[in-house]
Amino acid sequence: MTTQEMAAAGVPALTACCWEAATLDREQVAAVEQLASETHPGAAIIRTCQRIEAYALAACDCPAPARREGLGALRHLSEVAAGLHSAVLGEAQILGQSRRAFDDTDGELLGVGRTAVAAARALRAETEFDSHAGHLLDRGLAITGVEPGGRLLVLGTGAMARLVAERGQAIGFDEVLVAGRRPPRQPIAGTYLSLGGVRRAGPVTVVAGCLGSTANVIPLEALPPAELVLDLGTPRNFAGAAEARVVTIADLLSDEAGRPHSVARRGALRERLHALLDRELASRRETASTPVGALRASVERARRRELARIAERHPEIPPETLDALTRSLVNRILHEPTERLRALGEGSELARELAALFGDGE
């Protein structure tokens, strides 16, 4: 697709420079993060335990091992946001991480991020994923044959550690221990102990490393005896040799790539996501001067008014949850009417009269 064709189709001149982070050590991760920031000023940068990616509206010749442009870059961004490239298919946290990467951008780049995230959100709204990062524990147990039970030791007190600890309780570990440099700020599943005292905790079934990227590497020999060490850190939390089986994020990704059923499902979801993205791009091309654009603009104004009222009445519900719920509901209601308006054509007087029925006088 040429630049002119992309512009006509509403596809931005987006460039995605991508690094896989799961196999990088601490120094390499720091070097890539610095490179991504210094060579992509003003870009949106997604940083997760699996990837570091920079998105910008300009050509780039940085030494990223993978680069995508135009529609390919936009599709990849939506796939990442939907969790289609995550070790746990559809894991929920990546959507928010992708959205927040564009918080400091503006103009067309901000619009690009919103378009990709909207398509990803639409896929999640119609798909039963029922998975989050805590399910990495299930994956580690499955590929090693270790049964849940006995004691689970989780290192870390952040979001990942919280999900893994909760999942450990849910699937049948008898005791969950959570170790950190300082006590968690919010209640967390399990019993807290100091990170410095983990060796004295005694034998456990599984150790799950969920420490942040700034944490010091822990020698494997400093851990208590375990059947399985699950290293979920990027960079890796542990180094050295151990008698226990050690499984990393990279191992989980490799196993997922070798499962035919998983590959097939990801492929089918990718095709559906691309269709949803095409729909979002079509919406971007429709201005208030078109029947569909006028209809959507009117309904969006009404949605935002109601969103403000709901948020005021229910402060206990996170704003982004309310936004996602109301946006999904509106999209579902409007899908069939807008498709019929498009079929009538932009110049159709009937289409304009139907769209005018939803006018709000603004």
List active site positions: 49
Cβ neighbors of 7 (< 8 A, separation 6 or more) are: 13
| DSSP code string of 183-214 | --SS--SSEEEEGGGGGGG--EEEEEE---TT
The Cα–Cα gap between 242 and 239 comes to 9
3-state secondary structure of 288: coil
- In this structure, what token pair is assigned to residue 325? 């719920």
End-to-end Cα distance, the chain: 38
The Cα–Cα gap between 155 and 192 comes to 10
Contact, 16 vs 70, CB < 8 A?
A: no
Q: Closest Cα partner for 123 from 297, 319, 269?
A: 269
